[in-house]
Each structure stands twice: as structure tokens, then as C-alpha cells.
Amino acid sequence: MRLTQTLLFALATTTLAAPLESEFVATGFRDPMELAIAPDGDIYVVEREGRILRVRPTTGAIFEIGTLKVTALREKEKDSPWAREDGLLGIALDPKFAENQRLFLYYSDPEKLLNRLSRFELRGGKIDLASEKMILEVPGDRRDRVCHHGGSVAFAPDGNLYLSTGDNTNPFESDGRAPIDDRDGRDHVNAMRSAGNTNDLRGKILRIRPTENGYEIPPGNLFPPGTEKARPEIYVMGCRNPFRMSIDPKTGTLYWGEVGPDGQNPDAKGPAGHDEVNQAKKAGNHGWPFVIADNKPYPIVDFSNGQPGAMTDPEKPLNPSKFNTGLKELPPAVPALIWYPYAASNEFPSMGNGGRNAMAGPVFYHDPNRTYNLLSSADNRTLLTYDWMRGKMWKAKLDDRENLTALEVLMEGLNHPMDLEMAADGTLWLLEYGTNWYFNTDGRIRRIRPDDGNQSPKLTVERDSNNPLKFTAKDVSDPENDKITIEWWLNTGLEETKLGTGSNITIPPGGIDLRAVAIDAKGNRTISRVPLVEESNLPALTLEIIGKPEAATFGDALKFKITGPADPKQTIVRARYLPPTGHDSGGPQLPSEIEKTLTARQCLACHQVDRTSVGPHYLDVALKYRGKADALAHLKAKLKSGGAGVWGEVPMPPQITVTDSEADTLLKAILGLAEGISQTRGANEGTLTLSPAPESPQPGGAWEITAEAPGHSPARLRLNAN
């Protein structure tokens, strides 16, 4: 019996410009948001729904060190318009972490309408929740699909703490332009109340100096303490969703990625949406929601009649909103360092085109005394930037005055890169969020180093069929034929124990997981993990077909009844025809070459085959359009132009990277998913009509009928087909 999951393997083809080696040291994270590297090399990770984990990269150990109660979107209410982007958002370790075991977390309060920055202490390897010391609170809104909380936390070398916050605004009801709806009751679509407001902490990067009991305002922020109608914590204002930031270790210059609005082409209501990579050598106003990109201005649109009014002057932006509690005249706007729309960028062609979610990583300095130098000495002072949607990382070369001189792709094929940090030894650690927009279980940590040409060893682990506590390393090999040492590590909760070395091991009962670490003569490692505890058992559903028919055929109407603790609104009953011959793929599935293209075109960020995500699941799409003659034409046009309204209010951005013939192939495969399948949603009792017959049905086969609900183990039964 093979039980293992090999975590660590070299990726041969993801690097472009530089010979880099990239390996996964830990996987299985659920929507991981931000990471922090401790002085001892351990990595702390926070997850959106509140878990905090410690990872030991050398052995692949993952310790669950605490769970914070937070407001976050949960799978049970995945379509809720409430708190779409709230959660446990950011983490930073105290500069004296090795001595005081203190860390800072930024999270959405479980009840109150605010996000909070708090300091916690570790005790006995766990977060001591009672040690919480509130540092700062950012009041905000969670209603009606407001998004954008930023949430990156970082310390500068001088000990100041930076916190990014978003505009906390619904971005879907302003035509992809500036959300500046000044009508009563529409303040959730108005970033003039937040990002453009000098008296509000949202849509900002705050800069404070933590003290034992709170914080002080360091000199050099945008508004000196005592300025009327302005918060002294503000370092940068005019941000939309400054998601991940970093601070140059030598100059203290601040960098951040800014996710921009959806607008396609410029029109009377303003410029096309752009994402930005920003640089702040000093405090400033970066313009949102009045300018974007290289200071392209928006007019002040009157949302009661859609008419554009006065055009913003980037030198002297004004905030005319009746919801503005701050200064009317704002500091001059600062243009972005790098900016790019959905379409190919004229200014920065290496950014490519397509979906966008800009993020900023560390600045690389070449240091001959450090263990690893990711780039050459010619790349001294290079900002690493990345994009969550495009799955790429770029190197942005800066000159002595920190001006951008070159921009090129460094890596691609990253699975939603979420946070990027460089350790003291020069290793680059990348947190990958996972495949989907929400509810991932495949988030992972990737280690990136210069390629030394040596490949990692290989192994798998087998459990003894007679003795469940005995394990053997199998298929152990090394591409360079090095001598391999195998270490066995047992995770006991908050610590791990090295059980021994050698090709097999007998373990004591009670561990959480076992890892076999193969180490070659040059120190390269491969980790194979065996889970020892089953995932917790979910409550079960039962399914009954009324009348208990022996067999059924295409087009039959079956009466069903589901029992179990699930909310009937969330249940789905589905019937799938299994032909008498051939291989059963085990569910609605797309061919692997289609999956590959969908991955490459980033479709899977918003779509899954049979689970609703940001967009509808593809089986739902196929069922909706079954038998409709113009389905393919409609869907092709929709991919090209994007849009909302068929499945909900969230729009699909135009999928401009997809060619015509690719769209044809993808959509035909998606529509093909409905073959033999039917479903009924949202009721515990009702009728399920089996799918229409295919063109030349074969006799026999079977029907598989399943009932599912989030958080429950599904019920399944079979009927013969006749």
C-alpha cells in the first residue's frame, strides 16, 4: 500500500532568465495569506480562516500553533455578500522575536465591524490568545460585497511597523472606473470616504512605532500630528488594495502592489483600469480614487445621472464627497513605478497581458558573504515583483537612485503567488495560495535558490501490511548516484522527534504525521510525508429514491428524499450515466489537455469543474446551455467581452489571452460535461429528471446518484440503466 505524498521535488522548467532551483517544502495550506521568517529559519504562516502555522523547512514539519476567531467567508455560505475578503490577513514577527517570542497579526474581528492589529506572545510553542495586546483598530464595512482590506504587515530595519489597508469598497457597481458614488445609502461604493479621506485609516499604508502598550507616531508621516482632519498614522494614502508590500533593507524605501479596477478601454468616465507596482521613498498620496497608473485622472462622475463632471488635477486633487471627513484639498498625486492594464502594456511589454493582481516582493542586493545570491552582481538592487493572477515573477532593476532601468520575467508557472520574502541566507521563500479563489487545500511554500546543478534524491514510503506502525523507504535513488541518508521524523503536535535513520522505522503510536527525509551527499533533500490521523469525520447525508425502482432510463423523473443535518438550500442531487463499457473517470471531468489550457489561461482561479467558485462551475454552465443551438456563439462572445448578470453580479473580466480556436476547444469541452448528467439544487425532496439519451445509446450501464452539501459526506447510490 502506497500512502505517501512526496512534497519536495525540483521543477525543471519554471525558470527563464536565471538558473534557479525551486522546491516545495510544505503543502496542504488552506488559503494561506502571508508568511514571516523567524531567525532560526522556521516560517510562520497565517491562513484566511484563522489558523496560524509554523513550518520547519528542513524536515517539512507543519505545526498548528493556534487559531484566531475571525470573520471570514466560510464554505457553508460561500455565496454570501458579507465579508468577502475579511479574515486573518497578515503577520509580522517582532524584530526581537528570538528573545521575546512576540508576533503581530492583522485580522477581522469576529463580531465588531473592524480589522485589528494585535500583538501576541508564543508560550510553549503555541500562540497564547490571552496575551493579546491590541495595537490599532481600523473600523470598516462588510456589507454587500465590499472588498479590499490590504492586510500586509512588515517591520522596516529602523523598527517602524507598516500596515497596508484597502479602500473597503464594493468595486462591482462603478463600471470598472472610480467607485465614487456620492448618493445616500451608497457609501459602500464610495472610496472617497476611505482611500481619498485624510481622516480615515482605510486605503492607506500606515506607519507606526510599536511601544510596550501601544504605538507612537514616528517623524516623517504624511500629516504631522496635530494636523486637523488628518490621521497621523498615514504614511501613504490613495490606495485601492495595497495587498503585499516590502521594505528595502538598505534604503527603507517602501514598495507595494496595488490591484486596480476592471475598466477595459478609456471612456468619458475615466481611464482603463491598471494594476500598479508603487515605490515610496517618502510619505505621499498615491491618488486613488482620483488618479491611477502614471497619474491618469478620473473625472468626478455624478452617479445619479452618470454624467462625468470636473476632471481631477493630479497636481491638486480634490475630494468633493459629502462622506469625506478629512481635508478637501489633497497632497499632489504620486505616479506608479510600474503600471499595466489587461491589454498588453506599451510602457512595460514584459508584463504581458490578461488578468492582474500586482504584488511587491523584496529588493535583492548582491552580497558575496551570503550563502546564496539569487541573481548576479549585475543585478545588485533589483526589486522582485509578482502577480497573483499571471503566476509570474519579474525582476525590476533599479539604479543607484532607485529609478527603474529594466524589467524582465524571472519565473512563471507559479500557483497564485501570495507572499514573497528573502531569508538572511539569501533563500527566497514564496507562499502560493492554491488553485482557487477560496477554500483551497493546496496552498504551499516554495523555496527558491540558485541552481547548483545537483538534483534532489527520490523516495516513497510504504506502510507494512502486517504492522501498521512499521514503514519502509522504497524506490530510493539519486540522479547523481550520491550516497543517501534517510531520516525519520514524527510530528507530535507542537514539536517533532527524530526517530532514527535508515531504510525502515517502527514508530510509537500517537503521532500526527511521519516524514522520511532523503538527504544526498551535497545536502539536497526530498521529504515524503505519511499522514497518521484521518481527517475528521463529517456528518453524513442519506438519499432515498421513492418507490425504490430497480432500474431507470434516460429522461425518467425520479422522486428523491435527502435526510441529514444539511441546509436544504445547499443540497445538490445529481445523476450521472455510466456506460456499460469503458472506464469510469469517477465524475464530471475534463480531458487533461483541456485542464492544462484552463490552468495556463488562469480560468481555474475563478472556475472549477463541479464546485461553484467566483464564477459558476463548468458543469452548471454545461447543464444550463444543454440543447441550446446558439450556446457556443454566446459563450465565445462572453469570453471575449466578459461581463456579469447571467450567474450573478460579479463580472468575468474579458479573457483576452484566449485565442479564437482555443476558445472553441475549451467551450466545446465545457459544454460536453453535461453529457449523461442532470441535477437538482436547493431542495431535500423533489424530482430529478435523468439526462436525455445520447445519439446512439448502448443498452445497459448504470446510474450513479449522489446527494451533496458543503460540510457533509455525500450519499451515493446506483440504479441499473435500461
Q: Grid cell 517618502 — which residue? A: 282
Would you count residue 635 as binding ligand HEC (CB under 6 A)? yes
For ligand HEC, which is the closer residue by CB, 511 or 615?
615
Would you count residue 318 as binding ligand HEC (CB under 6 A)? no
Q: Grid cell 521524523 — which residue? A: 489
For ligand HEC, which is the closer residue by CB, 546 or 644?
644
CB of 639 to ligand HEC, least distance (A): 6
User: Do 548 and 719 contact (CB within 8 A), yes or no?
Assistant: no
Determine the interface stretch with ligand HEC among 35-43, 74-82, 600-608, 680-688 (rule: CB under 6 A). Answer: 600-608
Instruction: Select from 28, 148, 61, 47 the least CA-distant residue to 105.
Output: 47
Determine the interface stretch with ligand HEC among 324-332, 402-410, 504-512, 652-660 (rule: CB under 6 A). Answer: 652-660
CB atoms within 10 A of CB 370: 15
Per-residue buried b or exposed e for 222-240, using 16+ beta carbons within 10 Å of the residue's own CB: bbeeebeebbbbbbbbbbb
For ligand HEC, which is the closer residue by CB, 317 or 355?
355
CB of 297 to ligand HEC, least distance (A): 27
For ligand HEC, which is the closer residue by CB, 575 or 605?
605
User: Do 207 and 162 contact (CB within 8 A), yes or no?
Assistant: yes
Determine the interface stretch with ligand HEC among 3-11, 15-23, 411-419, 642-650 (rule: CB under 6 A). Answer: 642-650
CB atoms within 10 A of CB 185: 7
Q: What angle do CA 180, 181, 187 make, to 5 degrees?
A: 100
Determine the interface stretch with ligand HEC among 135-143, 492-500, 570-578, 613-621 (rule: CB under 6 A). Answer: 613-621
Among 212, 645, 661, 699, binds ligand HEC (CB under 6 A): 645
Determine the interface stretch with ligand HEC among 57-65, 290-298, 305-313, 650-658 (rule: CB under 6 A). Answer: 650-658
CB of 15 to ligand HEC, least distance (A): 25
**Quick one: cell of 176?**
470598472
User: Do 230 and 200 contact (CB within 8 A), yes or no?
Assistant: no
For ligand HEC, which is the closer residue by CB, 655 or 684?
655
CB of 604 to ligand HEC, least distance (A): 8
22: alpha, beta or left? (left if phi > 0; alpha if psi -120 to 50): beta
Would you count residue 606 as binding ligand HEC (CB under 6 A)? yes
Would you count residue 666 as binding ligand HEC (CB under 6 A)? yes
For ligand HEC, which is the closer residue by CB, 318 or 606?
606
Number of residues that bind ligand HEC (CB under 6 A): 27
Would you count residue 605 as binding ligand HEC (CB under 6 A)? yes
CA distance 664 to 75: 32
CB of 352 to ligand HEC, least distance (A): 15
Would you count residue 644 as binding ligand HEC (CB under 6 A)? yes
Would you count residue 655 as binding ligand HEC (CB under 6 A)? yes
Burial of 627 (0-12, 13-18, 19+ CB in 10 A): exposed
CB atoms within 10 A of CB 137: 14
CA distance 412 to 214: 42
CA distance 505 to 463: 10
Would you count residue 147 as binding ligand HEC (CB under 6 A)? no
CB of 641 to ligand HEC, least distance (A): 10
Distances (CA, A) of 84 to 48, 115, 170, 248: 11, 14, 10, 32
Sign of CA dihedral 149, 150, 152, 157: negative
Determine the interface stretch with ligand HEC among 82-90, 399-407, 526-534, 598-606 (rule: CB under 6 A). Answer: 598-606
Among 238, 653, 654, 710, binds ligand HEC (CB under 6 A): 653
Determine the interface stretch with ligand HEC among 162-170, 257-265, 404-412, 632-640 (rule: CB under 6 A). Answer: 632-640
CA distance 430 to 35: 9
Determine the interface stretch with ligand HEC among 73-81, 216-224, 226-234, 608-616 (rule: CB under 6 A). Answer: 608-616
Q: What are phi and psi of 229, to 5 degrees?
A: 55, 30
Question: CA 611 from chain center: how many Å?
Answer: 17
Would you count residue 600 as binding ligand HEC (CB under 6 A)? no
Would you count residue 210 as binding ligand HEC (CB under 6 A)? no
CB of 168 to ligand HEC, least distance (A): 20
Identity of the amino acid at 200? D
Among 39, 110, 643, 694, binds ligand HEC (CB under 6 A): 643
Distances (CA, A) of 504 to 9, 64, 509: 22, 27, 16
Among 51, 145, 202, 607, binds ligand HEC (CB under 6 A): 607
Among 141, 372, 647, 683, binds ligand HEC (CB under 6 A): 647
One symbol per residue from 11 to 50: x for binding ligand HEC (CB under 6 A), - otherwise; what is it? ----------------------------------------
User: Do 83 and 99 contact (CB within 8 A), yes or no?
Assistant: no
User: Do 160 and 135 contact (CB within 8 A), yes or no?
Assistant: no
Among 374, 621, 669, 721, binds ligand HEC (CB under 6 A): 621
CA distance 273 to 174: 12
Instruction: Select from 576, 419, 300, 580 the least CA-distant residue to 43.
Output: 419
CA distance 168 to 84: 11
CB of 613 to ligand HEC, least distance (A): 8
Identity of the amino acid at 307? Q
Would you count residue 591 as binding ligand HEC (CB under 6 A)? no
CA distance 243 to 85: 11
Would you count residue 614 as binding ligand HEC (CB under 6 A)? yes
Among 409, 638, 686, 706, binds ligand HEC (CB under 6 A): 638
Q: What are phi and psi of 546, to 5 degrees?
A: -65, 135
Would you count residue 81 as binding ligand HEC (CB under 6 A)? no
Determine the interface stretch with ligand HEC among 357-365, 396-404, 513-521, 651-659 (rule: CB under 6 A). Answer: 651-659
Would you count residue 601 as binding ligand HEC (CB under 6 A)? yes
**Quick one: cell of 442?**
493546496
For ligand HEC, which is the closer residue by CB, 343 or 646?
646
**Quick one: cell of 365?**
542586493
Would you count residue 650 as binding ligand HEC (CB under 6 A)? yes
One symbol per residue from 343 to 362: x for binding ligand HEC (CB under 6 A), - otherwise; what is it? ------------x-------
Rg (CA), the chain: 27
Q: Which residues bind ligand HEC (CB under 6 A)?
A: 355, 601-603, 605-607, 614-616, 621, 635, 638-639, 643-648, 650, 652-653, 655, 658, 666, 670
